[in-house]
């Protein structure tokens, strides 16, 4: 993912994939980042305009169980495409979902330019209606091998960046399956989110899985082969001990308001929206196709992002549980607003 700072022309001087610059909530927002992003970053929401949502609590122990998934995933080692850990992780995701009685679908393809094979994995939990809400994450980890700068080459297990959101979706799956809903819920695990270059380069060599999934959805929708995706909720880096989910400014404003209201309703407001900054991530291909989307991401000020310290030692079941509370509290309002289309 890549950020677009709210601090005017402050250069993104961090030599990393997104060149992030910490933002204040009051500053103006420049246009969106790069060729993959055809829309502009929005302004921060008015945090005083809180929707009266009913909190939905995650089952006891969910965060700790999700943390155990993270532990297992990191034990697989590096999980960028083609590695043994990548293969083991794909099987782990599929087996965990299948054990719940869910049907797992895979899309495996080889990018002709990169000559790299990627795999998206997803499952659907039917609702009373065919219209879909997607809960998504990326399952790959950043490749920390073969970069020209030796400082960018090290063993990286991506406990938070790659592991946390996968783990949380796996633990949310049985909760969602046990709850009757209007919308059909898709759980989607994208491959190839991370840039193959160390630098982001306007996502020219990144977001492979989400670009493909969004493009295929548009084609299938035109052919009448599947129901419309009405909204996407993206999770990316949601388990750090000192959790802070920024207000991601490319995200649809209405969904940001729902997210903030859910955090307030659950008593987790201190973990959300202290900063506001745009980040080019797996939600962008959907936004570019007119699909409302919101990104839950802990990027601004994250000291472990793309560092060797992104390990299980810096993860928290409490953080994962808090995000689960907020997502479960969001969903009824997202259904009401985007599936039932009630103001």
Q: Is the dihedral of CA 238, 75, 72, 95 positive or negative?
A: positive
- Model confidence at 37: pLDDT above 60: no
Highest mean pLDDT (candidates 25-29, 200-204, 238-242) = 238-242
Share of the chain above pLDDT 90, in %: 87
Q: How far is CA 125 from CA 97, 105, 116, 172, 214, in A?
A: 11, 12, 30, 11, 19
Determine the 3-state secondary structure of 189 from DSSP: strand
pLDDT of residue 135: 98
Instruction: Give the tens place of pLDDT for each residue, 130-167.
Output: 999 999 999 999 999 999 999 999 999 999 999 999 99
For 268-307, give one letter per residue: b (16+ CB within 10 A) or e: bbebbbebbbbbbbbbbbbbbeebbbbbbbbbbebebbbe
Which residues share a beta bridge with 188?
A: 122, 136
pLDDT of residue 40: 80
Determine the 3-state secondary structure of 96 from DSSP: helix
Instruction: Give the tens place of pLDDT for each residue, 41-89.
Output: 999 999 999 999 999 999 999 999 999 999 999 999 999 999 999 999 9
Please tell me what DSSP assigns to residue 240. B
Instruction: Give the tens place of pLDDT for each residue, 282-318.
Output: 999 999 999 999 999 999 999 999 999 999 999 999 9
**What is the pLDDT averaged over residues 8-32?**
32
Could you tell me which residue, 26 or 96, shows the higher pLDDT?
A: 96
- Model confidence at 6: pLDDT above 70: no
pLDDT of residue 32: 31
Determine the CATH number of domain 34-339: 3.40.630.10
Work out the mean pLDDT of the chain and round it to a whole number.
90
């Amino acid at each position: 993912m890549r950020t677009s700072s709210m601090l005017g022309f402050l250069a993104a001087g961090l030599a990393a994939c997104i060149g992030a610059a910490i933002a204040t909530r009051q500053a103006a927002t420049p246009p969106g980042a790069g060729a993959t992003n055809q829309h502009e970053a929005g302004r921060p929401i008015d945090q005083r305009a809180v929707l009266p949502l009913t909190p939905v609590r995650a089952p006891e122990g969910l965060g700790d169980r999700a943390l155990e998934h993270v532990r297992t995933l990191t034990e697989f080692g590096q999980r960028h495409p083609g590695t043994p850990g990548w293969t083991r992780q794909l099987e782990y995701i599929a087996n965990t979902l299948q054990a719940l009685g869910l049907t797992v679908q895979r899309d495996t393809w080889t990018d002709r330019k990169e000559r790299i094979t990627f795999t998206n994995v997803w499952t659907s939990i039917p609702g009373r209606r065919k219209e879909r809400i997607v809960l998504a994450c990326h399952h790959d980890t950043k490749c920390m091998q073969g970069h020209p700068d030796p400082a960018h080459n090290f063993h990286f297990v991506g406990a938070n960046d790659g592991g946390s959101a996968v783990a949380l979706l796996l633990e949310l799956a049985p909760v969602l399956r046990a709850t009757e809903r209007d919308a059909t819920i898709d759980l989607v695990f994208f491959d190839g989110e991370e840039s193959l270059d160390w630098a982001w380069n306007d996502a020219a060599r990144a977001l492979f899985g989400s670009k493909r999934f969004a493009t295929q959805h548009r084609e299938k929708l035109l052919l009448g082969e599947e129901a419309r995706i009405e909204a996407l909720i993206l999770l990316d880096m949601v388990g750090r001990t000192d959790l802070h989910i920024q207000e991601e400014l490319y995200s649809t404003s209405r969904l940001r308001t729902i997210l903030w209201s859910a955090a307030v309703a659950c008593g987790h407001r201190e973990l959300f929206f202290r900063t506001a900054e745009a980040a080019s991530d797996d939600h962008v291909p959907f936004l570019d196709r007119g699909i409302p989307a919101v990104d839950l991401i802990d990027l601004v000020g994250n000291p472990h992002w793309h560092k060797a310290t992104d390990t299980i030692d810096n993860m928290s079941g409490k953080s994962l549980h808090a995000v689960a509370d907020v997502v479960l509290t969001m969903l009824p309002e997202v259904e009401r607003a985007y599936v039932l289309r009630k103001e």
